[in-house]
Structure 1
């Protein structure tokens, strides 16, 4: 017993501390291997080139390692350019999908899986799209995958859109006064270069609608538009309505055109009725003025008669005065 205590006491304290540290390190490595081993092994087999230390650091930075690993594996399997494709002396440009870029995009609040899906779709379609551009589109709140798909497969926008405006037709009047109600289909393709900061579908719908109304209003006869709707779409396309928008207009088609009211004839009838009412009012005014003049003349006649009666009443008085003064001689 005493010999055992002497042996233990003879052990160097530094050795004990080193052994403790080694045990802690080994225990930490075991924990790391248990927690990240399967994920690292999956990435290693797929050529993702994300080490255990990188996975640990991601965890410390509150990054979802599984999302980063799956995105990197998907990028490798799709033959996107990653760190392993870098040649000596080559700089990593926007075409590379690196672990650092994926992690930075995740920390910025982006969706790394959508970024990879968009890059894969753009590569398969032969569209130039770099990682930084796709990340900027995603962080701007746009659906980058849908943007790439629309760039490859154009979509159709209704003008007007009943769901947005509650209207099914645009109403315009040709020079002959006949109203036309039209519904247009606008085929657009996403312009990836202007997707960030570019105007949205609402602007396209508003511009196209305004131009269609203007074009119909410039037509001499409504029948010309019905016989040749292409004259309207051609005039609209020539105006460059997709400028500063997130889309490129591929085509504009008049889906339906309905003849509405004859606005010109209705306005003429309304004008004639208004002219009739004005003429009646003026005639009534003249009649009232004539009646007023007649009444004034009657009043003047009555006044003259009263003056005559007063004058006649003065005659006997004048004769009597003349008799008294002897100015009238009654002898024959």
Structure 2
């Protein structure tokens, strides 16, 4: 029994040792590369393990490139992986670009990949253009009618501009701006409805794809809806504003007139007070004239008669005015 147990332990240790050896010495991967025409030594595969680079990814990429007629450098593939790149995507893109006769070298492909863009999708988009639907774009023609437009933009990836080039958002913004400008320069909304292709041609001629990662192939107006009559709304708003301004000015003039009337009433009351004050001095003056001998009794009665006659005439005049009003 002891001999059988020792034998089992030796077998287990041997299995673990073989697994460790084959893990660090990927003989099967080396043989696969050898029969595929890729020359790479077992030592290099072991060193890849120590450099934390998965040998299978590098070897499969080199096999794919070799079968496609590409010349790939192992060190460059390892460097790209260690920089955070996607080696398989880059090699797939290089193979696809070669088959489609698209000029793309390894340096450009790795730069695009490290920039965060999908280089394989870019190559596929170069072969099969992509259609981007714009959101509804609202613009107003010169006759004041609002138009709501939707467009389809057909783009193709521009490989040379993928690094540092603007994305889809910039293309959509520029197309929307061009549509607004084209509709705004039209004399009538009917002109836009009759010839929508005129707007798309005008927008396309502006070179909106400059500095972007895409090449615009066509801009097609998909739908145009008529919105509100913005011109009429603006005229109504202006008329209401003018009316409010006129009312405010009229109210200001009325307030000034009321203030002036009150001021005149105050001045009249002030003048009347001065008259009453002056009249209060008359008896004093008469008394002083009596004492000084400048006024006699007959003079006094004559003044009283004149005053009574004046009061009588005033009362008669008031009675006539009242009768006329009735």
* Secondary structure, aligned partner of 1:129: coil
Match of 1:137 in 2: 112
CA distance in 2, matches of 1:122, 1:312: 118
> How far does the alpha carbon of each residue in 1:157-197 deviate from its partner, in whole angstroms, 9 at most, with x for none?
2323xxxxxxxx22222222222222222211111111111
Task: Determine if contact 2:24/2:46 at 8 Å carries over to the other structure.
Answer: no
**2:29 is aligned with 1:39:** yes
What residue in structure 1 maps to residue 324 of structure 2? Answer: none
Q: 1:17 is matched with which residue? A: none
Residues 1:315 and 1:40: Cα distance change in structure 2 (over 3 Å): closer
- Match in the other structure for 2:59: 69
Aligned length: 281
- Separation of aligned partners in 1, 2:192 and 2:211: 29
Q: CA deviation at 1:111?
A: 2.1
Alpha-carbon distance, 1:256 to partner: 1.9
Alignment partner of 1:298 is 2:265:
yes
Measured in 2, the distance between the counterparts of 1:306 and 1:280 equals: 39
Equivalent residue for 1:322?
A: 289
Say what the alpha-carbon RMSD is for the aligned residues. Answer: 2.6
Alignment-derived partner of residue 50 in structure 1: 40
Give, in angstroms, the shift of residue 35 of structure 1: 4.2
Q: In the alignment, which residue of structure 2 is the partner of 1:232?
A: 199
Q: 1:147 pairs with 119, 122, 129, which one? A: 122
For the 8 Å contact 2:139–2:180, the answer to whether it is kept is: yes
Matched, 1:128 2:118: no
1:159 aligned residue: 134
The alpha-carbon deviation at position 330 of structure 1 amounts to 5.0
Counterpart Cα distance in 1 of 2:122 and 2:156: 9
Which of 180, 194, 210 does residue 243 from structure 1 map onto? 210
Q: Distance in 2 between matches of 1:97 and 1:185?
A: 40
Aligned to 2:223: 256
Task: Look up the match of 1:284.
Answer: 251
Are residue 98 (structure 1) and residue 73 (structure 2) matched?
yes
- Cα pair 2:89 2:119 within 8 Å, conserved: yes
Q: Which runs of 4+ in 1 moved over 4 A?
A: 31-35, 329-332
What displacement does 1:155 show? Answer: 0.8
- For the 8 Å contact 2:146–2:228, the answer to whether it is kept is yes
User: 2: CA distance between counterparts of 1:34 and 1:258?
Assistant: 67
Normalised to the residue count of structure 2, the TM-score between the two structures is: 0.77
1:47/1:275 Cα in 2 relative to 1: closer, same or farther (>3 Å)? same
Q: For 1:280-328, what per-residue CA distance to the aligned partner results, in whole angstroms no more than 9, with x for missing partners?
A: 1111121222222222222333333333333333333333333333323
SS at match of 1:214: helix
Equivalent position of 1:200 in the other structure: 167
Which whole-Å CA distance do the structure 1 matches of 2:113 and 2:267 have between them?
95
Q: Cα offset for 1:127? A: 0.9
Q: Does 264-273 or 201-210 show the bigger shift?
A: 201-210
Distance 2:88 2:117 in 1: 14
2:93 corresponds in structure 1 to: 118
Task: Please say which structure displays the higher CA radius of gyration.
Answer: 2
Q: Give, in whole Å, the separation in 2 of the partners of 1:56 and 1:305.
A: 122
Quote how far apart the aligned CAs of 1:34 are.
10
Deviations 1:248-275 (A, max 9, x none): 1111122222222222211111111111
| Pairing of 1:257-272 with structure 2 (within 5 A) | 257-272=224-239
Seen in structure 2, the aligned counterparts of structure 1 residues 304 and 33 have a Cα distance that, compared at 3 Å, is: closer
Q: Hey, what's the Cα distance between the residues in 1 that align with 2:273 and 2:74?
A: 121
SS at match of 1:256: strand
CA distance in 1, matches of 2:227, 2:23: 76
Structure 1 unaligned residues grouped into runs of 5+: 1-26, 82-95, 161-168
